[in-house]
Each structure stands twice: as structure tokens, then as C-alpha cells.
Amino acid sequence: MKNKIFLLLLLVFVCACEEKGTKPIKNIDSTQAAKPDYSKFPAFNADSAYSYIQQQVNFGPRIPNTKSHKACGAFLAARFKAWGIPVIEQDFSVKAHDGVVLKGKNIIASLAPTAPRRIILAAHWDTRPWADEDPANPKATLDGANDGASGVGVILELARLFQTSSSKPTVGIDCILFDVEDYGKPAVEDSYCLGSQHWAKNKHLPNYSAYYGILLDMVGAKGARFNKESHSMNAAPSIMNRVWEVAGQSGYGEFFIHQMGGMITDDHYYVIKDANIPMIDIIEYDPHQGFGAYWHTQQDNMNVIDRRTLKAVGQTLVNVLYTEK
Ligand code: AHN
Ligand code: ZN
């Protein structure tokens, strides 16, 4: 019996040696694909993204039911259309926590609209009506340069880049700009994210679905650190890990941190729960320190926006989407 086992082991050993002798030795694990050559993908222009943020801020705070809000919504839809990207404007009315009925508009712009495999890029375009975290001026308004406008600015630049480049991602991309995200009251359940709640229950096309989604929230501040938000990690760990891995390979590991980031009730939460689409949230939030010091204060203006952060997020997304099969 022992002899037989010995002979069997010997046979296995000899075969393994022969294998080595006849085939070139591959020392990379087959599960760990070689790093793609990201330099061949289009370059994300952070100046362009910055300018789209500035243009939103120039409208004034984009508070639902105001002129500035309406004008900025029209501008955003027109921006996509001018690049030849079809847009669906989803208008809705919703009662907020304070009883006010808000007129909202989700803006959906679709690249390669007939491609069957689709990925969502989302951000919210409205501004919180109150700087309620501002110790000096809690009733004042805020510019919302980072909270809202930064994610939209990155998405506009990605749409422009994909539409005008000769090489395209093979997947279809739906840019969804959610409205009325930030009218909520702390600790009042489901009082935030009213636009995404509406969309998740009333998608812009019948039977619409997507392979996955990426939400951008506060992606432009100087020195931003993106930890791995927990709803995202629960719903789409492989997407999360891939985005963070691509970020590291692209040279942006100082922004994308391999650390759990706490649980945020953001637009992705409702897309996961009510639309059944896995979505991750790239958001600046630290589990110990919370949001950035500018958050929901009057400091959330163009002074906090840093092109290096915009580049890190934008180029990471280019590299993720161009390596998507
Ligand atoms: C809560 O604070 C519950 N959610 C944060 C979502 C948010 C507000 N994102 C930007 N502003
Ligand atoms: Zn906010």
C-alpha cells in the first residue's frame, strides 16, 4: 500500500517536472491579471471638470423650487445634448419632511444607448438649502461646490471625453444626475435622496437595469480620502475592490484607501434596495472624523476644490470603464 502511494507521488512529481520542461514557466497567478496599459486610454481633463463645477456654482445654490435650480437643470441637460448625447428629463413632485412639495428633475444621459451591458454613473445636482453644520451661520445657504457639483462636474467631463474620443468603452453608460438628494433632516428616515428614491421605483425606461453603478459624492476636495463605504461593500464588493485596485495601479492610491468607511445613507442605498442594482459610493467620509470640515457649511465653495482630486477620481473611472468587457 505504502509503495503504491509512493509510486503515485513519484508519477505526479515526474509529470510536474515534464510540464515545467516543455512549457514556459509562468510565475503570475492566473487569477491576478497583468496590469493593463492605462496610458493608452483617454486623459481625463481636470480643468474641464473644474470649469463644470464653477459653472454650476455660478447659478447660485441649486435649491429645489428656486430659479437657480431650474436654470442649472436646463443647463445640465443642454450640456449633454450639445455633445449629441440623448437625454431623458424625469420630472416629479415630492413632499419633503417639512411638508413642502418640491418639483424635482432627474437627468439621465445615455451613451451608446442600445448597448445591452450598461453601467450607471450617478451624482446629485441639487444643493442643500441650509448650511446647518456651519457654527456661525446655520441658516445661510451654501455653494455646494463639493457637495453635489463636484460629482456632476466629473460626470460631465467623462461624458464629453467618451463622446469625443475615437476609442470608446465597450459598455453603454447611463449618466444619472439625481435631484433632491440633500433636502433631508438629520435622523428623519428616508428624508434624503428623494430623487433617487423616485427613480429607483420609477425607472426612466420600462424594464431598465444595469450591470452596476458608481455614485460620486463629494469627490473634489483637496486631500480627499475615499474609504470603502459599507453599503457599497455589502452590495458590490467586487466592484468596490476593482475600482480601488485600478485607482492604486493608476497612481491614485493616496486617495483611495483600503479601509472600511462607515455606512452612509446616500443615493446608492435606494438604487441597491429599490432598483436591485448593485451600486457603490465614492464618497469622502472618515469613520472616525466624519465628513470633511466644509460639509454642510459655507466653506463648501470653490476654495475646497482641488484639480488633483478631480483627476484622481476621473482618471480612475476612465481606466475602470475602458477595461470593462
Ligand atoms: C446622511 O447624512 C444621512 N446622509 C448623507 C448623504 C449626503 C448628504 N451626501 C451629501 N450630502
Ligand atoms: Zn449634503
Question: What pLDDT score does 20 carry?
Answer: 42
What is the percent of the chain where pLDDT is above 90? 89
126 C-beta closer than 6 A to ligand 1 = no
Give yes or no for residue 143 having a pLDDT over 50: yes
CB 203, CB 277: distance < 8 Å: no
From the CA of 14, how far away is ligand 1's center (Å)? 62
Which burial class, exposed, middle or buried, applies to 121 when counting CB atoms under 10 A from its CB (0-12, 13-18, 19+)?
A: buried
Q: Which of 1.10.600.10, 3.40.630.10, 3.40.190.10, 3.40.718.10 would CATH assign to domain 30-322?
A: 3.40.630.10
Q: Read off the pLDDT of residues 77-127 as tens digits, 9 standing for 90 and up.
A: 999 999 999 999 999 999 999 999 999 999 999 999 999 999 999 999 999
Hey, whose CA ends up nearest to atom 7 of ligand 1? 266
Residue 16 has pLDDT above 50, yes or no: no
Residue 55 has pLDDT above 60, yes or no: yes
Give the pLDDT confidence of 290-310 residue by residue, as tens digits.
999 999 999 999 999 999 999
d(CA 153, CA 143): 14
Lowest mean per-residue pLDDT among 28-32, 87-91, 159-163, 281-285: 28-32
Whole-number average pLDDT of the chain: 93
pTM: 0.91
Asked whether residue 230 carries a pLDDT value surpassing 70, the answer given is yes
Which residue among 146, 182, 216, 271 is best mutated to probe the pocket of ligand 1, counting the most ligand atoms within 8 A of its Cβ? 182
Q: What angle do CA 152, 157, 162 make, to 5 degrees?
A: 125
Residue with cell 434596495: 273
229 lines ligand 1 (CB under 6 A): no
pLDDT at 23 over 90: no
The pLDDT score that the predictor gives to residue 191 is: 98
- CA 175 vs. chain centroid, Å, equals 10
- Which three cell numbers, joined as nine digits, stand for 64? 429645489
> pLDDT (tens digit, 9 = 90+) per residue, 176-190?
999 999 999 999 999
256: pLDDT strictly greater than 90: yes
* Cα gap 322→90, rounded to integer Å: 28
pLDDT-based confidence at residue 34 (cuts at 50, 70, 90): confident
Average pLDDT in the 141-165 region?
A: 98
Using an 8 Å Cβ cutoff, are 215 and 119 in contact? no
Domain edges within the chain: 30-322
Q: Do residues 53 and 305 make contact, with C-beta atoms less than 8 angstroms apart?
A: yes
Between 34 and 165, residue with greater pLDDT: 165
Cβ–ligand 1 distance for 147 under 6 Å, the answer yes
- Determine the distance separating the centroid of ligand 2 and the alpha carbon of 295, expressed in angstroms: 7
Question: Tell me: the pLDDT tens digits for 218-228?
Answer: 999 999 999 99
The whole-angstrom separation of Cα 100 and Cα 220 is 31
Average pLDDT over residues 252-262: 97
Q: Ligand 2 centroid to 142 CA: how many Å?
A: 10
Pick 298 or 8 by higher pLDDT: 298
Whole-number Å distance between alpha carbons of 29 and 43 = 30
Characterize 247-257 residue by residue with b for buried, 16 or more Cβ atoms within 10 angstroms of its Cβ, and e for exposed.
bbebebeebbb
**For ligand 1, atom 11, which residue shows the shortest CA distance?**
182
Atom number of ligand 1 nearest to Cα 283? 9
Tell how far the Cα of 57 is from the centroid of ligand 1, in angstroms. 19
Q: What does the alpha-carbon distance between residue 306 and residue 153 come to, in Å, rounded to a whole number?
A: 12
- The sign of the torsion formed by the CA atoms of 178, 182, 183, 187 equals positive
Ligand 1 close to Cβ of residue 217 (< 6 A): yes
Phi-psi region of 277 (alpha: psi -120 to 50; beta: other; left: phi over 0): beta
How sure is the predictor about 33, in pLDDT bands with cuts at 50, 70 and 90?
A: low
Using pLDDT thresholds of 50, 70 and 90, give the confidence band for residue 17: very low
Is 192 close to ligand 1, i.e. is its CB under 6 Å away? Answer: yes
Three-state secondary structure string covering the chain = CHHHHHHHHHHHHHHHHHHHHHCCCCCCCCCCCCCCCHHHCCCCCHHHHHHHHHHHHHCCCCCCCCHHHHHHHHHHHHHHHHCCCCEEEEEEEEECCCCCEEEEEEEEEEECCCCCCEEEEEEECCCCCCCCCCCCCCCCCCCCHHHHHHHHHHHHHHHHHHHHCCCCCCCEEEEEEECCCCCCCCCCCCCCCHHHHHHHHCCCCCCCCCCEEEEEECCCECCCCEEECHHHHHHCHHHHHHHHHHHHHCCCCCCEEEEECCCCCCHHHHHHHHCCCCEEEEEECECCCECCCCCCCCCCCHHHECHHHHHHHHHHHHHHHHCCC
Q: Kindly list the distances between the CA atom of residue 108 and the CA atoms of 44, 225, 254, in Å, as whole numbers in the listed order.
A: 21, 28, 32
